[in-house]
DNA sequence: AAACAGCCCTGAGTGC
DNA sequence: TGCACTCAGGGCTGTT
């Protein structure tokens, strides 16, 4: 269930290892993990082998690595390696000497000028995740396509309260006042339709509120729509709605502007807190690039808490099926209104 | 255009 | 011990 905080932890962990690294070898152990790649596995291998990775970038739950191929012809379009973790995907940093992980699907061997050899292992139990090569295009609003550089985690340690201070957000690839490189202003074609996430400095709040007001469907459905607001999955939708005292099926259009603004504040707070705790792990489904679990599962108020007392009022949390997913909520705090 | 059902996918967990 | 069954849900496609 990697959502924004989990994907950001992975991205931040990969960034120093991949930036400036050259891909020396690519192995596809499971072709279905290339479902989003437009072309055969051989094409993926050929174009990526010898390439130099420029950065690790994230928007919502999508991760990508802009790269320069080994051979570049004039007029070639810029490319990126796109990764989505789906439900159970992991990207792990391994030594080449280590035996393969059991559910390894794709393996990239990298040579880094400073860090030496490193192996990037794409592990995915359910094969809902994928990797692909894709052309990039300029962002529609001209702003940076997503988070790169040190990003949200900055130089802090997990648990550092400074993590929840947006003023500490890293200035990005160009540095303070610097002009971002071309790759930072470009987004892979298959990610271009994804909305900016709520931690993105270029997130358009006014657009979010107006689109929310135009929808008659339930608020949870809206929060899970990655074309409206990205990065939120089932866990953080339930947590944000609990924090906002909103019922999952409350029509989006029924929210006042003030209530919608409060919801956005809670969404950001939940995401930042989870980020500071290294993400949400239940078992081995989500781990960082070193295989370590996050701690946010200890901070959950609603998700997976059915049968336990609501931390706010003591009423037992309920779980119902909604949109083919579990929805967890407090029947007293989160009443359907209007 | 928006809403929504259906599909993909398999290891872990459970009950017998 | 082993078998059948259930569960988890993000993103995309197609239909209404």
Q: What is the CATH number of the domain that holds A271?
A: 1.10.8.50
Residue A8 confidence class, pLDDT cut points 50, 70, 90: very high
Q: Do A252 and A168 have their domain in common?
A: no
Tell whether the model's pLDDT for residue A112 goes beyond 80.
Answer: yes
Q: How confident is the model over A38-65, as a mean pLDDT?
A: 96
Question: Is A193 (CB) below 7 Å from strand B?
Answer: no
A128 touches strand B (CB under 7 A): yes
On strand B, nucleotides with any atom < 7 Å from a protein CB are 2-13
Number of neighbouring beta carbons within 10 Å of residue A111: 15
Residues A186 and A210 in one domain: no
Distance CA A256, CA A269 (A): 20
Residues A29 and A140 placed together within one structural domain of the fold: yes
In the residue annotation, A220 being an active-site residue is answered as no
Residue A61: nearest nucleotide (C-alpha to C1'): C10
From A168, A259, A312, A325, the catalytic residue: A325
Tell whether A77 and A129 lie within a shared domain: yes
Calculate mean pLDDT across residues A181-210.
95
CA of A131 to C1' of C3 (A): 35
Verify whether residue A3 is a known catalytic residue. yes
- Tell me if A67 is assigned to some domain: yes
Tell me the C-alpha distance between A336 and A230, whole Å.
Answer: 25
Q: What is the pLDDT of residue A249?
A: 92
Residue A294 lies in a domain: yes
Please indicate, yes or no, if residue A160 is contained in any of the structural domains.
yes
State the binding site of A for DNA.
126, 215
A103 in contact with nucleic chain B (CB within 7 A)? yes
Q: Which of A33-42, A145-154, A189-198, A205-214 has the lowest mean pLDDT?
A: A145-154
**Strand B close residues, chain A 38-77, CB < 7 angstroms:** none
Band the pLDDT of A206: cuts 50, 70, 90: very high
CATH of the domain at A88: 3.20.190.10
Rg of chain A over CA atoms, in angstroms?
Answer: 20
Do A268 and A156 fall into the same domain? no
Lowest mean pLDDT among A24-33, A63-72, A314-323: A314-323
A338 belongs to a structural domain:
no
What is the CA A123 to C1' C5 distance in angstroms?
26
Same-domain check for residues A12 and A125? yes
Highest mean pLDDT among A57-66, A67-76, A144-153: A57-66
Mean pLDDT of chain A: 89
Positions in chain C where some atom is under 7 Å from a protein CB: 7-12
Residue A235: the pLDDT is: 93
Binding site residues of A, as ranges?
126, 215
pLDDT digits (tens, 9 = 90+) for A270-320: 999 999 998 888 777 778 898 888 888 888 999 999 999 999 999 999 999
Tell me: pLDDT of A155 over 70: no
Among A191, A223, A254, where does a domain finish? A191
Summarize the confidence of residues A216-236 as an average pLDDT. 93
Residue A244 located in a structural domain: yes
Q: Are residues A263 and A181 in the same domain?
A: no
Residue A104 lies in a domain: yes
**Is A137 a known active-site residue?**
no
Which CA-bearing residue is nearest the C1' of B7?
A: A128
Please check whether residues A185 and A51 belong to one and the same domain. Answer: yes
What is the per-residue pLDDT for A172?
Answer: 57
A116 shares a domain with A10: yes
A184 and A225 both lie in a single domain = no
The SS3 call for residue A15 is: helix
pLDDT number for residue A175 = 56
Query: For residue A177, what pLDDT is reported?
Result: 62
Show the domain range for A112. Answer: 4-191
A36 touches strand B (CB under 7 A): no
Distance of CA A10 to the CA centre of its chain: 9
* Token pair 């174009």: residue: A47
Q: Are residues A165 and A76 in the same domain?
A: yes
Structural domain includes residue A40:
yes
- Domain check: are A150 and A211 in the same one? no
How confident is the model at residue A173, as a pLDDT? 64
Q: What percentage of chain A exceeds 90 in pLDDT?
A: 75
Alpha-carbon distance A173 to A171, whole Å? 7
Question: Sorting pLDDT into bands at 50, 70 and 90, what band is A149?
Answer: confident
How many separate domains does chain A show? 2
Asked whether residue A336 is assigned to any structural domain, the reply reads: no
Long-range own/partner contacts, residues A112-118 (CB < 8 A, 24 or more apart):
A112/A17, A112/A18, A112/A20, A112/A21, A112/A22, A113/A20, A113/A21, A114/A20, A115/A16, A115/A17, A115/A21, A117/A24, A118/A17, A118/A21, A118/A93, A118/A94
For position A152, what pLDDT does the model report? 66
Q: Is the CB of A253 under 7 A from strand B?
A: no
Task: List the beta bridge partners of residue A329.
Answer: A318
Catalytic (active site) residue A2: yes
Of A147, A165, A191, the residue at which a domain comes to its end is A191
In the set A11, A47, A58, A61, the catalytic residue is A61
Q: Which of A157, A191, A225 is the last residue of a domain?
A: A191
């Amino acid at each position: 269930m990697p959502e924004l905080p989990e994907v950001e932890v992975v991205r931040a962990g990969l960034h120093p290892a991949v930036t400036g690294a050259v891909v020396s070898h690519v192995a596809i152990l499971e072709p279905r993990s290339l479902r989003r790649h437009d072309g055969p596995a051989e094409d993926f291998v050929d174009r990526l082998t010898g390439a130099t990775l420029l950065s690790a970038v994230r928007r919502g739950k999508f991760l990508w690595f802009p790269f320069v191929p080994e051979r570049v012809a004039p007029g070639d379009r810029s490319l990126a390696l796109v990764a989505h973790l789906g439900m159970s995907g992991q990207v792990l940093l391994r030594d080449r000497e280590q035996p393969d992980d059991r559910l390894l699907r794709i393996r990239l061997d990298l040579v880094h000028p400073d860090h030496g050899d490193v192996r990037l292992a794409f592990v995915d139990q359910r094969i809902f995740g994928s990797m692909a090569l894709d052309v990039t295009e300029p962002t529609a609003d001209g702003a940076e396509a997503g988070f790169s550089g040190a990003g949200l985690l900055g130089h802090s340690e997990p648990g550092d309260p400074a993590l929840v201070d947006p003023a500490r957000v890293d200035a990005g690839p160009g540095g303070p006042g610097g002009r971002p490189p071309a790759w930072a202003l470009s987004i892979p074609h298959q990610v271009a339709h994804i909305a900016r996430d709520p931690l993105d400095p270029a997130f358009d709040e006014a657009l979010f509120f107006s689109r929310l007001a135009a929808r008659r469907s339930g608020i949870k459905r809206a929060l899970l729509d990655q074309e409206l607001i990205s990065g939120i999955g089932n866990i953080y939708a339930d947590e944000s709605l609990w924090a906002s005292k909103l019922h999952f099926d409350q029509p989006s259009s029924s929210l006042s502007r003030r209530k919608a603004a409060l919801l956005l504040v809670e969404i950001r707070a939940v995401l930042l807190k989870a980020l500071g705790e290294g993400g949400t792990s239940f078992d081995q489904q989500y781990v960082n690039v070193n295989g370590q679990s996050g701690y946010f599962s200890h901070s959950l108020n609603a998700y997976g808490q059915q049968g336990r007392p609501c931390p706010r009022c003591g009423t037992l949390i309920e779980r119902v099926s909604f949109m083919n997913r579990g929805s967890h909520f407090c029947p007293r705090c989160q009443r359907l209104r209007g």
